[in-house]
Amino acid sequence: MNKYEVLYIIAPEIEDEAVKGVIEKFSGIIAANGGTVGNIDEWGRKKLAYPIDYKTEGYYVLVDFEAAPELPRELERNFKNDESILRYMVTRKVA
């Protein structure tokens, strides 16, 4: 099991209850594929450094997790298919 972290930005027009649903969805994907979710750090709505699809702010979420090496690819595939995600980045933590 490797340690990873993922930072993703949710579109600003998504309502607060729907944001919680998106966070639970991606945490569920990690758990369903044999990973363990650690800390979920919600940074909240912040201004973007540059516009993405004409949007100037987004809801930032940072998640620490442990998983097999195959899980980040599956997680990225799900991020690409979800229209509420503006950007994402999965990185492996080195001890």
Tell me the pLDDT tens digit for each residue of 40-82: 999 999 999 999 999 999 999 999 999 999 999 999 999 999 9
pTM of the model: 0.92
What sign has the CA pseudo-torsion 34, 37, 43, 49?
Answer: negative
For helices 71-81 and 16-32, what crossing angle results, to 10°? 150
Sorted by sequence, the CB contacts under 8 Å of residue 74 that are 6+ apart come out as 29, 33
Q: What's the domain count of the chain?
A: 1
Domain that holds residue 58: 2-92
